[in-house]
Structure formats: C-alpha cells, structure tokens
Amino acid sequence: MIKTNENKLKLYGFNNLTKSLSFNIYDICYTKTEEDRKRYIEYIDEQYNSERLTKILTTVTDIIGAHVLNIAKQDYDPQGASVTLLISEEEVPLYVLDPSCNRGILTPIRENIVGHLDKSHITVHTYPETHPENNISTFRVDIDVSTCGQISPLKALNYLIDSFDSDIITIDYRVRGFTRDVDGRKHFIDHDINSIQNFISKETIARYNLIDMNIYQSNIFHTKMKIKDLKLENYLFEISEEDLTQQEREEIIQNLNKEMTEIFYGINVPNV
C-alpha cells in the first residue's frame, strides 16, 4: 500500500468505501405483574425517548468526526421511538445568502443535503417488549451507523455500549465497495481489523462472554456479547430480593438465563 507520512493511503479522488455498523442491545428485566410490565414500558419510554436518543446519536456523530445535516425523530404510541440523522464527512453549509431575495434571505442548498442521503446516516429504533408467560420484559435498541470516506463508525462503539444497560449485545460491521490509490490499485478496506473486539475496551470485554463469526474475505465481522455475572438485584423491577422466597429467586434466575440464552444464540430453548 502507498501511504502518507500519517500512515494513510494516498488516494486517487474520493474515498468510496462504505462502512456500516449495526449495533443491537437487549436489556432484560423481571416484571411480576401486568401492572409491573406496564410501568416498565413507561419507564423505558421515558428513559429512552427520542430526545435522549437524539443526544446520543449527536454525540456519536461528534466522536466519529462527522457533521449533522438533518435530524428526524419520532416517539410512538403506545411505545418506542426512532431517530434518523443524516451526516457528512465534511462540514457542509446548509444555507447560502441569496441576493435575489428581499433582504438577502438565506436559501437552503438542497443538492448538498440530497448528496449524502444514501451514504452517511445514523438511525436508532427502540423495541420494548413484554409477555406474561415468563414475567420477563425486554428492551431492544437497534442502531445503524453508515459512513463513507475516511470516518469510521467503530470509533463510537465504546460510547454506544456505555450509553445503555446491555445484557446482550450483537454487533455487525461491514466494509463495502472499493477505493483507488494514486497508482490505480483497488483497496477494499482502508484499515486493519480482524475482529470487532479490537475496538472494544478491555474493561467491557471482561464483563461479557463473546463469540466472533467473521468472513474476512468479504470484510464482514460479527460479534455477540452476553453478560457474565447475573446479579438478581439488577433485574428486579419495583421489587426487592427480600420480598422473594429462595425458590422464587431460583425460578427468576432460571427464567432470566433462559431468556438471555435464547436471544444470544437465536434459538428457542424448550422448558425443562
């Protein structure tokens, strides 16, 4: 590879690589009654409404060194929220002074916005879910960060993990397309990676069991993470351990473990 003094490729024209990070977290909670499940959903909707999610995604944009072009956000009834940010690698002026208008009105530069619609964006969707059969409620956050050029969504990975209470995490990262160096040689990736774990802090890795499934020749990387230590007090909603019998505690832990195992491996585990 031909590289500059900063250890970067000397490219011919624009960096055409597209880098996409898909980040899913699951938060799991024991909700004993129908009223508990209702209050849990209300709590989640309050904690992770579109306003807070927008702040998280805006910080992600700053971390990866991108610029926000547009924000769309929505809270849903009865539950859930979505936010979409359009971003660019370079700072783009959204308005110019149009002298043909009275008082020189600022006019939007629409073509600059449209030019980034299919290349750089960040989206988040939330999915609270409950079911009365096992008294377990789950909350899923789905985040997609897609960038083009030199900016990389992997820079924000630790921040995303730390922004949520995550029992199960699934991460997909892929690099598509190619870019050329000054000699015309194609490069299908512009950075070193053999695992998403390379970009996760050691402190976080110590808290999880991790599995990798990677297709190196296609620049596709997949990592699953499952929390190691299940402390019951962290999974009880509006109830304390002291209110439970030993048998109840064991049954709840068994149900929590079953739920996590099913999500982690993507299978339904039969009841024993």
Terminal alpha carbon distance of the chain: 56
Percentage of the chain lying above the pLDDT 70 cut: 83
pLDDT of residue 7: 56
The pLDDT mean for the chain works out to: 82
Q: What is the spatial distance between Cα 212 and Cα 193, in angstroms, rounded to a whole number?
A: 13
Q: Which positions ≥6 away from 218 have C-beta within 8 Å?
A: 174
- Token representation of residue 33: 């009654």
User: Binning pLDDT at 50, 70 and 90, where does residue 116 land?
Assistant: very low
Q: What is the CA radius of gyration of the chain?
A: 22
79 has pLDDT over 90: no
Angle at 63 between CA 59 and CA 68, to 5 degrees: 60
For every residue of 122-143, DSSP letters joined together read: EEEEEEEEEETTTTEEEEEEEE
User: Binning pLDDT at 50, 70 and 90, where does residue 207 land?
Assistant: very high
Question: What's this model's pTM, rounded to 2 decimal places?
Answer: 0.80
Fold of 18-265: S-adenosylmethionine decarboxylase (3.60.90)
User: Binning pLDDT at 50, 70 and 90, where does residue 203 land?
Assistant: very high
pLDDT of residue 9: 58
Q: What is the spatial distance between Cα 135 and Cα 13, in angstroms, rounded to a whole number?
A: 56
Q: What count of other Cβ atoms lies within 10 Å of the Cβ of residue 176? A: 16
pLDDT of residue 198: 94
pLDDT of residue 256: 93
User: Binning pLDDT at 50, 70 and 90, where does residue 253 land?
Assistant: very high
pLDDT digits 0-9 by tens, 30-53: 998 888 888 888 888 888 888 989
Q: What is the spatial distance between Cα 68 and Cα 19, in angstroms, rounded to a whole number?
A: 17
The mean per-residue pLDDT over the stretch 106-124 comes to 50
95 has pLDDT over 50: no
**What are the residue boundaries of the structural domains of the chain, listed by start?**
18-265
The mean per-residue pLDDT over the stretch 185-200 comes to 89
Which one-letter DSSP state was computed for residue 78? Answer: S
pLDDT of residue 102: 43
For every residue of 168-205, DSSP letters joined together read: EEEEEEEEES-EEBTT--EES-SS--S-GGGGS-HHHH
Identify whether the C-beta of residue 69 lies closer than 8 Å to the C-beta of residue 92.
Answer: yes
112 has pLDDT over 50: no
User: Binning pLDDT at 50, 70 and 90, where does residue 114 land?
Assistant: very low
- SS3 assignment, position 167: coil
99 has pLDDT over 70: no
Catalytic residue set: 120, 125, 148
Residue pointed to by tokens 């880098």? 19
pLDDT of residue 127: 87
Q: H or E stretch including 38?
A: helix 34-47
pLDDT digits 0-9 by tens, 220-234: 999 999 999 989 999
